[in-house]
Homo-oligomer: A and B are copies of this chain.
Amino acid sequence: MESRLNELGLTLPSPKAPVANYLGTKRSGDLLFVSGKVSALRGEVGSEIDAAQAKLAARDTMLDLLAIIKQDLGNLDRIVAVERLQGFVRSAPAFTAQPEVIDGASDLLVQLLGPAGRHARTATGVNQLPFGAAVQLDMILQVIEPSE
């Protein structure tokens, strides 16, 4: 996956520290639980910002998550598969295109990891998110031990 980032001309941002008393990731055997991360983009989707902007924000948030995962794992090539992605979209009362928004994150995972990046997913609307963010993502990954 590291080389694929380069091929796509992508650079990971600096990993952001958790905003409260939790870890960026926690591992149990070969499962890695990844904490929720909110988008830098603030605003209610369907009123203050539109689906296309929120979809880009979901992609950027996935890059933020990957930066945190790289910091914790040492190397993104330890990712075997993405198991589950959960996406919350801060939604105006009539906004119902949450799947389109979360595709911003899912598309990137598939670009970077191919079939291993395809995942189970839930995309849900909510009325508010931390810091007024537009999007929030968390994940469960399958990972391998660091090579000796």
Q: Does A91 contact B (CB under 8 A)?
A: yes
Collect the chain B residues with CB atoms within 8 Å of residue A24's CB.
Answer: 120
Number of A residues with CB within 8 Å of any CB on chain B: 58
Q: Which residue of B is nearest A26, CB measured? A: B120
What number of copies of this chain does the assembly contain? 3
A96 contacts B132, C-beta separation under 8 Å: yes
Which positions 15-45 of chain A face chain B at CB distance < 8 Å?
18-26, 28-31, 33-36
Given A28-B140, A33-B84, A33-B120, 10 other A-B residues pairs in contact with their CB atoms under 8 A: A29-B30, A33-B83, A34-B120, A35-B120, A86-B122, A93-B127, A97-B130, A124-B130, A125-B127, A127-B127
Q: Name A's B-contacting residues (CB within 8 A).
A: 18-26, 28-31, 33-36, 81-86, 88, 91-100, 102-103, 106-107, 110, 118-132, 136, 138, 140, 142
